[in-house]
């Protein structure tokens, strides 16, 4: 069922068993998992079914600290959320990503890779990925045209990525949600406050506003906050009528540990073998490639070199091209976002075969783009501004900060990679100048992947995390948080696959208890 | 023949010590049938002379005590003494580069992660052809 909240009488009361706040990848996943489960599921979406400038402006916020994408461009505020313009890059986190690493402060998840692995399978289905296979050997068996470079796996390995078409949740799952008897989708229903009981140990109701000025109440037994990393923190911090610091923020952790993936052009690989190896495994053609490999370093090397996790993609290039490397902030300015949505390959997929494209002449030179996790950093944070949006909500302010470990890991990565490429007689690696430079200053090519993580991190100890192992808000019995905001560490894989898997896990756990 | 010469020269060099290497190393243009010229790095056809020269010049600036052809030849030879005495073959040079990488004998020159041997080859090239 679908209701436009703008058409409800002012002061309406909406009631259900469970309420999901936010209809992006996380919220829609949970709703899909609960289709026909006998519970009355409320799904609240702040926007409508399409992009609207007025709704998007509700996400506008401040940027302090390191430069960043404008917040109103970094997430989409309508049904389907940011899947409406995501690129579809998927890979699993690695087992080491879940471990407590003594050289990475605040690292460690309260769950292991094995706990999440079963849920990756369902996430794979929802994201239309080709197979439940995440090793290069499995992909080599599936497709003989894919051959991994002969690296010593004790040092480096081929990390597999799969590509969603990319699936636009707002398009693909709209009918399933709207036609479901037990799911009640409310569009233009912006939650502006979670209203707790007197002791702030549970939430009694939500305050919902429409852009036209109407205000409603929503009541459910349980609430799932699934508004995206920045908006999750913003909403908890703004829910401060009874708890001045914000709901769930008794230990001043909400909004902290904001993380991005550092996606930066970092170097080049020149193949030196007399016979150029077949590099099809590492090639990518948007909308056509099902899977490709990137090069990552082993857990043992990460431990030995006390570095962060990263993987690197290979794109045919030239030695002269290295100097032209751009920041993603420059390469993808906000005004390019509409074109991202128009070029959604789910509209092209009938025309373009979704298969490994043939590579004609194997080039010798490749540009290396690093995707590196950001070390968890309590000073990298989202806070509230004095300025308010059209609904009266304080706007979010992002203070993105990096650490020395973020910087030193790049050089460590490329030194190890360079040695291994040489030892394996594959080629030589050149690091870009900025990788060699020391000191705290980041280069103009500093860029992120539009990936927002942290801000409501998962930890069993309320003094170290905002949600517990089941994503329940510490100290608040009936509020759960979904999405990448619960990540304690980021890994180097793009967040969508894992956040969908975590949402499947939460839906299963909560669905069995609700 | 090459092996005999090598053995005789090895004994000479052993007696003279490392200092003797500086003068006893073979000269270009006297290569045996399987020998390769160490002054022509394998990187040359891949990276081109400009890049190789640039690497070579930077290496010499970073390690001025090696900045002469005899010293570079000696240093390259010293890294794999026995083979050096019989002259470098393509195979032995390949093996030396792989051994450098495997053993961590690498150097970063203008961002390039190189085996020490090939960095010295670039330096030698830059002296002879730069």
Contact A425/A273 with Cβ under 8 angstroms?
yes
Instruction: Tell me A431's DSSP state.
Output: E
For chain A, the first-to-last Cα distance in angstroms comes to: 21
Give A151's contacts in chain B (Cβ within 8 Å).
none
Residues of A102-126 as b/e, b for ≥16 C-beta within 10 angstroms? eebebbbbbeebeebeebbebbbeb
pLDDT band at A175 (very low <50, low <70, confident <90, very high): very high
Instruction: Tell me A3's DSSP state.
Output: E
Q: What is the predicted pLDDT for the residue at B13?
A: 31
Interhelix angle B69-79/B116-129, nearest 10 degrees: 160
Give A267's contacts in chain B (Cβ within 8 Å).
111
Q: Which of A89, A98, A93 is nearest to A161 (CA)?
A: A89
Sign of CA dihedral A489, A491, A494, A500: negative
Mutate one of A419, A426, A429, A436 to test the B interface: name it (highest B CB count within 10 A): A419
Give A412's contacts in chain B (Cβ within 8 Å).
none
Q: Closest Cα of chain A to B53: distance in Å?
A: 15
Which residue from B42, B104, B110 is facing A272, i.e. has the nearest CB? B42
Whether this model's ipTM surpasses 0.95 comes out as: no
Q: Does A121 touch chain B (CB under 8 A)?
A: no
Give B115's contacts in chain A (Cβ within 8 Å).
422
Residue A156 Cα distances to A102, A299, A417, angstroms: 21, 9, 7
Q: Which residue has the higher pLDDT, A485 or B28?
A: A485
pLDDT in tens, A420-451: 999 999 999 999 999 999 887 899 889 999 99
pLDDT band at A341 (very low <50, low <70, confident <90, very high): low
pTM of the model: 0.90
Q: Residue A254: how many CB atoms within 10 A of its CB?
A: 29
The chain-wide mean pLDDT, for chain A, equals 93
Mean pLDDT of the B61-82 span? 88
Instruction: Tell me A46's DSSP state.
Output: S
Mean pLDDT of the A449-474 span? 97
Give A432's contacts in chain B (Cβ within 8 Å).
111
Contact A27/A499 with Cβ under 8 angstroms?
no
pLDDT in tens, A139-157: 999 999 899 999 999 999 9
Mean pLDDT of the A9-26 span? 98
Q: What is the predicted pLDDT for the residue at A136?
A: 96
CA atoms of A505 and A273, how far apart (whole Å): 46
pLDDT in tens, A311-320: 999 999 988 7
Which residue from B98, B100, B114 is facing A428, i.e. has the nearest CB? B114
Which residue from A270, A432, A433 is facing B47, i.e. has the nearest CB? A270
Selection from A277-281, A372-376, B91-95 with the highest mean pLDDT = A372-376
Residues of A207-218 as b/e, b for ≥16 C-beta within 10 angstroms? bbbbbeebebeb
Contact A490/A261 with Cβ under 8 angstroms?
yes
Residue A488 Cα distances to A106, A111, A301, angstroms: 8, 10, 22
- Is B113–A436 a contact, with Cβ atoms under 8 angstroms apart? no
CA atoms of A376 and A363, how far apart (whole Å): 38
CA atoms of A437 and A433, how far apart (whole Å): 7
- Is A319–B108 a contact, with Cβ atoms under 8 angstroms apart? no
Contact pairs from chain A to chain B, CB under 8 Å:
59
Q: Which two tokens stand for residue B54?
A: 């640039």
Q: Which residue has the higher pLDDT, A336 or A181?
A: A181
The answer to which of A233-242, A264-273, A346-355 has the lowest mean pLDDT is A346-355
Instruction: Tell me A429's DSSP state.
Output: E
Q: Does A419 touch chain B (CB under 8 A)?
A: yes
The DSSP bridge partners found for residue A430 are A268, B112
CA atoms of A457 and B90, how far apart (whole Å): 56
Side-chain half-sphere exposure of A512, counting CA atoms within 13 A: 6
Residue A215 Cα distances to A79, A224, A394, A463, angstroms: 20, 20, 17, 35
């Amino acid at each position: 069922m679908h209701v436009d909240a703008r058409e409800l009488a002012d002061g309406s009361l909406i009631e259900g068993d469970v309420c999901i706040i936010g209809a992006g990848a996380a919220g829609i996943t949970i709703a899909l998992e609960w289709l026909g489960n006998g519970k009355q599921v409320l799904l609240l979406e702040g926007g409508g079914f399409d992009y609207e400038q007025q709704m998007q402006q509700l996400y506008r916020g401040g940027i302090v600290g390191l430069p960043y994408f404008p917040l109103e461009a970094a997430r989409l505020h309508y049904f389907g959320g940011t899947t409406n313009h995501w690129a579809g890059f998927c890979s699993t986190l690695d087992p080491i990503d879940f471990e407590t690493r003594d050289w990475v402060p605040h690292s460690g998840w309260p769950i292991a890779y094995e706990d999440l692995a079963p849920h990756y399978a369902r996430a794979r289905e929802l994201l239309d990925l080709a197979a439940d296979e995440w090793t290069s050997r499995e992909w080599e068996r599936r497709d003989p045209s894919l051959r991994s470079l002969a690296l010593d796996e004790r040092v480096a390995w081929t990390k597999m990525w799969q590509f969603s078409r990319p699936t636009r949740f707002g398009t693909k799952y709209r009918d399933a949600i709207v036609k479901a008897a037990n799911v009640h989708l409310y569009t233009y229903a912006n939650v502006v406050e979670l209203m707790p009981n007197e002791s702030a140990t549970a939430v009694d109701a939500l305050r919902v506003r429409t852009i036209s000025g109407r205000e409603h109440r929503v009541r459910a037994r349980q609430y799932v906050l699934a508004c995206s990393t920045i908006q999750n923190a913003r909403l908890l911090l703004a829910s401060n009528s009874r708890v001045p610091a914000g709901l769930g923020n008794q230990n001043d952790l909400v909004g902290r540990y904001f993380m991005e993936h550092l996606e930066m052009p970092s170097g080049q690989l020149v193949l030196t073998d007399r016979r150029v190896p077949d590099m099809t495994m590492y090639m990518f053609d948007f909308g056509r490639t099902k899977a490709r490999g990137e090069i990552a370093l082993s857990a043992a090397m990460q431990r030995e070199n006390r570095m962060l996790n990263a993987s690197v993609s290979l794109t045919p290039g030239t030695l002269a091209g290295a100097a032209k490397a751009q920041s993603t902030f420059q390469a993808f300015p906000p005004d390019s976002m509409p074109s991202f949505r128009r070029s959604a390959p789910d509209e092209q997929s009938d025309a373009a075969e979704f298969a490994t494209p043939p590579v004609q002449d194997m080039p010798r030179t490749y540009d290396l783009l690093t995707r590196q996790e950001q070390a968890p950093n309590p000073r990298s944070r989202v806070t509230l501004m004095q300025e308010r949006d059209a609904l009266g909500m304080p706007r979010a302010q992002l203070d993105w900060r990096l650490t020395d470990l973020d910087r030193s890991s790049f050089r460590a990565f490329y030194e190890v990679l360079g040695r291994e490429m040489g030892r394996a007689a594959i080629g030589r690696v050149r690091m870009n100048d900025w990788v060699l430079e020391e000191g705290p200053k980041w280069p103009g090519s500093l860029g992120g992947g539009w990936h927002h993580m942290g801000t409501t991190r998962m930890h069993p100890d309320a003094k170290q995390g905002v949600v517990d192992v089941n994503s329940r808000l510490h100290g608040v019995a009936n509020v759960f948080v979904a999405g990448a905001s619960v990540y304690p560490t980021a890994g180097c894989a793009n967040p969508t696959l894992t956040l969908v898997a975590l949402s499947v896990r939460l839906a299963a756990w909560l669905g069995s208890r609700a | 023949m090459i092996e005999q010469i090598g053995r005789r020269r090895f004994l000479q060099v052993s007696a003279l010590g490392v200092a003797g290497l500086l003068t006893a190393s073979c000269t270009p243009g006297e290569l045996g049938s399987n020998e390769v010229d160490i002054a022509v790095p394998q990187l040359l056809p891949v990276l081109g002379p400009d890049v190789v020269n640039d690497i070579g010049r930077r290496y010499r600036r970073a390690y001025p005590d090696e900045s002469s052809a005899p010293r570079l030849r000696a240093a390259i030879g010293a890294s794999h003494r026995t083979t050096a005495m019989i002259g470098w073959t393509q195979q032995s040079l390949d093996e030396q580069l792989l051994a450098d990488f495997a053993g961590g004998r690498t150097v970063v020159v203008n961002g390039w992660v190189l085996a020490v041997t090939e960095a010295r080859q670039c330096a030698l090239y830059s002296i002879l052809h730069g």
